[in-house]
DNA sequence: GTCTGGATGAGCT
DNA sequence: GCTCATCCAGACC
């Protein structure tokens, strides 16, 4: 497909923006290698009122300070030695964001295999895809989208979007049941995939 | 196929 | 010293 995405949709509703991101192609050029993938899985984090979000309650810390920024920036944090990447929505008074949890590899698959040290399950989890794309907290936390390093391109369109509970936040009280995880139904490049692969990996086109 | 546990590191208190 | 929005290998069915 063609063209950079107009990311202004990120400044409006975060849940809508999350669904809009499915199918978009993330293109990175880091460390001399060009890699890309289509977004298959995201989770929305709704800022001050979402107990699972790093910005719950609005307290600014060294760790979450890059969350308090306007839409179109990214927020990268480390977890157990892995990096996770979020796209920010809205503005610093509404520090909301979308965690990218899964992509379908497209360009530079051989580079991803090299970076990951394996040939399967390259990008079906938040820590995996950042490694495959060469995204690191120490280099990329707080940067903007659509520059030489990280671009968002028009990609594919999901046939069916499925909403589920978010993963890995069992301790977050009422927030554990919020249906803020969105996946392309039938696409195998999502975390904990099981079931059968749909025709065309669940893409409409 | 499912389940478990250890590695791992930044940052809070 | 404790927490955590993870990953993977190994054990078992």
pLDDT reported for residue A195? 83
Give the nucleotide nearest to A80 (CA→C1').
Answer: B8
Work out the number of other CB atoms within 10 angstroms of the CB of residue A7. 19
Question: In sequence order, what are the beta bridge partners of A103?
Answer: A39
Max CA-CA distance within chain A? 45
pLDDT reported for residue A194? 84
pLDDT reported for residue A2? 59
A132 CA, C2 C1': Å apart: 30
Q: How far apart are CA A180 and CA A52, in angstroms?
A: 11
* Residue recorded with tokens 């978009």: A24
pLDDT reported for residue A95? 95
pLDDT tens per residue, range A129-188: 999 999 999 999 999 999 999 999 999 999 999 999 999 888 888 998 999 999 999 999
Domain range annotation of chain A: 7-202
List the structure tokens of A81: 């030695």
**Span A7-202 CATH architecture:** Roll (3.10)
How big is the CA angle at A118 (ends A110 and A183), to the nearest 5 degrees?
85
A87 close to A14: Cβ distance less than 8 angstroms: no
A120 close to A131: Cβ distance less than 8 angstroms: no
pLDDT reported for residue A170? 83
- Could you tell me where the beta strands, DSSP code E, fall in A3-120? 25-30, 33-45, 74-79, 82-89, 96-105
pLDDT reported for residue A3? 80
Give the residue ranges of chain A where pLDDT is below 50: none
A174 CA, B7 C1': Å apart: 30
């Amino acid at each position: 497909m063609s063209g950079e995405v107009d990311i202004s949709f990120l400044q409006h509703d975060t849940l809508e923006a999350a669904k809009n991101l499915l199918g978009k192609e993330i293109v990175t050029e880091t460390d001399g290698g060009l890699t890309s993938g289509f977004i298959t899985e995201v989770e929305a984090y709704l800022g001050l009122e979402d107990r699972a979000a790093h910005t719950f309650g609005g307290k600014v810390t060294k760790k979450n300070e890059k969350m308090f920024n306007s839409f179109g920036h990214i927020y990268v944090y480390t977890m157990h030695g892995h990096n996770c990447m979020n796209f920010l929505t809205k503005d610093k008074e509404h520090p909301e964001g979308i965690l990218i949890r899964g992509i379908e590899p497209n360009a530079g698959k051989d580079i991803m295999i090299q970076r990951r040290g394996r040939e399967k399950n390259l990008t079906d989890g938040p820590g995996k895809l950042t490694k495959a794309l060469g995204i690191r907290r120490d280099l990329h936390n707080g940067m903007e989208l659509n520059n030489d390093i990280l671009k968002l391109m028009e990609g594919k369109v999901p046939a069916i979007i499925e909403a589920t509970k978010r993963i890995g936040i069992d301790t977050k009280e009422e927030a554990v049941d919020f249906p803020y995880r969105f996946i392309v139904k039938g696409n195998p490049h999502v975390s904990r995939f099981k079931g059968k692969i749909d025709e065309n990996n669940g893409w409409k086109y």
